[in-house]
C-alpha cells in the first residue's frame, strides 16, 4: 500500500510540475507583448528596431509621451474618451437597472415578448446597423457630437439581460412583505433592488467602461475632425504612415496611454467584477 501511494505521489508531482511549467510558459507569452509595449514606450525609436533587441532598455526617455501631446491634440482625445465613457456608463447603468427591474418584478402585457427581443438583439453585431444608424444621426444633425456616440451605447441589451437575472434572484416574497408594510415598487427598487444588485451593477459598469473606452469604428465614423477623435481613434491615426521615418516610440507611447486607464480601472475594481460574475453564475 505504501509503495502504491508513493507511486501515485510521484505521478501527481510530475503532473503538477508539467502543468505549472505550461502555465508559466503561457503567462510568459501572454505578458511579453505587454512588457514589450511598456519598455518600447520609453525607448528611442532606434533602440526599438535594433537587432539584437535590448530586452532591458539601456537608454530611457520620456520624449515619446511628450511628443504625443506636442504633435497631436491628445488632450482633446483623452477628454473626449473620458467624458464619453463616464456619461455612457452612468446612463447605461441607470437605464439597465430600471429596465431589468421592470422586466423582472413587474407584470404587464408583452413582458416576455420584450425580453425575447432583447435576447435577439444580443445576436446582432453592431457593424450591421452602423450605416442606418449613421443616416439617422445625419437626420438629427448629431454627427460629430457626444450624443451620437453615447445614446446608441446606452441602449446595449446586455446590461438589461444581466441585471434582470440579478433581480430574478431576489425572492418575490420579500417584495410582497414590503408591500404589506406600504412600500411601493419604486421604493423597493431604490432601497432593496439596487443594493442587492451591486455586484451585477459593478460588473456591468466595468465591462461597459472597457467596451466604450476601446470603441473605434463608430467613433471613427462620427468624427468630423481630429479634435473630435477619441483616444483609440487618435492613437490609430498615429500608425498611419505616409512616408518618411516611422516613429515607433511615438506609436508605443500612444498605445500605452490608451491601455493604461483600462488596467487601472480593472485592477481598482477587480473585486466588484469577480463578485458580479460569480454571483451571476450562482444565481442564474
pLDDT 10s digits, 140-180:
999 989 999 999 989 888 889 988 888 888 887 777 777 77
Predicted confidence at residue 96, as pLDDT, reads 92
Predicted confidence at residue 272, as pLDDT, reads 65
Predicted confidence at residue 47, as pLDDT, reads 80
Percent share of the chain, pLDDT over 70:
88
- The answer to whether the peptide bond before residue 52 is cis (omega within 30 degrees of 0) is yes
Residues 6+ apart with CB under 8 A from 46: none
* Rounded Cα distance, 22 and 18, in Å: 6
Predicted confidence at residue 57, as pLDDT, reads 82
Predicted confidence at residue 81, as pLDDT, reads 94
Q: What is the mean pLDDT of residues 246-264?
A: 86
> What's the distance, Cα to Cα, between the start and end of the chain in Å?
45
* Rounded Cα distance, 259 and 38, in Å: 10
Cell readout for 8 is 501515485
Domains of the chain: 79-229+264-283 (1.10.3720.10)
Cell readout for 118 is 432583447
Predicted confidence at residue 261, as pLDDT, reads 86
Structure confidence by residue, pLDDT tens digits, 173-188? 777 777 777 777 788 8
The dihedral through the CA atoms of 187, 167, 213, 130 has a sign that is negative
Q: What is the mean pLDDT of residues 259-278?
A: 72
Q: What is the pTM of this model?
A: 0.82
Contacts 24+ apart (CB under 8 A), 173-182: 175/105
Predicted confidence at residue 229, as pLDDT, reads 92
Predicted confidence at residue 53, as pLDDT, reads 79
Interhelix angle for 248-268 vs 63-71, to 10°?
100
Burial of residue 252 (number of CB atoms within 10 Å: 0-12, 13-18, 19+)? buried
* Rounded Cα distance, 217 and 236, in Å: 11
Task: Please give the DSSP secondary-structure letter assigned to residue 171.
Answer: -
State phi, psi for 52 to the nearest 5 degrees. Answer: -70, 150
Predicted confidence at residue 276, as pLDDT, reads 54
Structure confidence by residue, pLDDT tens digits, 25-79? 888 888 888 888 888 888 888 788 788 877 888 888 888 888 888 888 989 999 9
**C-alpha closest to that of 276 among 93, 122, 30, 85:** 93
Predicted confidence at residue 5, as pLDDT, reads 46
Predicted confidence at residue 88, as pLDDT, reads 95
Cell readout for 31 is 505578458
Q: If pLDDT is split at 50, 70 and 90, which confidence band does 284 have?
A: very low
- Average confidence score pLDDT of the chain: 83
Cell readout for 175 is 417584495
Amino acid at each position: 500500500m505504501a509503495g502504491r501511494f508513493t507511486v501515485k505521489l510521484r505521478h501527481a508531482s510530475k503532473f503538477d510540475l508539467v502543468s505549472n511549467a505550461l502555465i508559466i510558459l503561457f503567462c510568459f507569452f501572454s505578458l511579453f507583448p505587454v512588457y514589450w509595449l511598456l519598455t518600447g514606450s520609453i525607448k528611442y525609436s532606434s533602440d526599438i528596431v535594433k537587432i539584437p533587441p535590448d530586452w532591458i532598455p539601456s537608454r530611457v526617455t520620456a520624449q515619446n509621451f511628450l511628443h504625443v501631446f506636442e504633435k497631436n491634440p491628445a488632450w482633446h482625445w483623452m477628454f473626449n474618451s473620458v467624458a464619453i465613457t463616464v456619461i455612457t456608463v452612468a446612463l447605461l447603468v441607470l437605464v439597465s437597472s430600471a429596465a431589468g427591474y421592470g422586466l423582472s418584478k413587474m407584470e404587464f402585457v408583452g413582458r416576455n415578448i420584450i425580453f425575447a427581443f432583447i435576447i435577439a438583439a444580443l445576436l446582432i453585431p453592431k457593424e450591421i446597423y452602423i450605416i442606418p444608424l449613421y443616416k439617422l444621426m445625419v437626420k438629427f444633425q448629431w454627427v460629430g457630437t457626444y450624443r451620437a456616440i453615447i445614446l446608441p451605447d446606452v441602449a446595449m441589451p446586455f446590461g438589461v439581460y444581466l441585471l434582470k437575472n440579478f433581480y430574478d434572484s431576489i425572492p418575490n416574497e420579500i417584495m410582497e412583505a414590503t408591500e404589506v408594510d406600504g412600500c411601493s415598487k419604486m421604493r423597493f427598487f431604490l432601497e432593496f433592488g439596487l443594493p442587492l444588485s451591486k455586484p451585477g451593477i459593478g460588473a456591468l459598469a466595468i465591462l461597459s467602461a472597457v467596451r466604450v473606452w476601446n470603441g473605434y469604428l463608430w467613433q471613427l465614423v462620427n468624427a468630423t475632425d481630429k479634435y473630435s477623435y477619441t483616444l483609440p481613434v487618435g492613437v490609430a491615426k498615429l500608425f498611419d504612415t505616409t512616408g518618411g521615418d516611422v516613429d515607433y516610440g511615438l506609436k508605443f507611447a500612444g498605445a500605452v496611454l490608451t491601455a493604461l486607464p483600462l488596467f487601472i480601472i480593472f485592477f481598482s475594481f477587480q473585486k466588484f467584477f469577480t463578485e458580479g460574475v460569480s454571483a451571476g453564475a450562482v444565481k442564474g
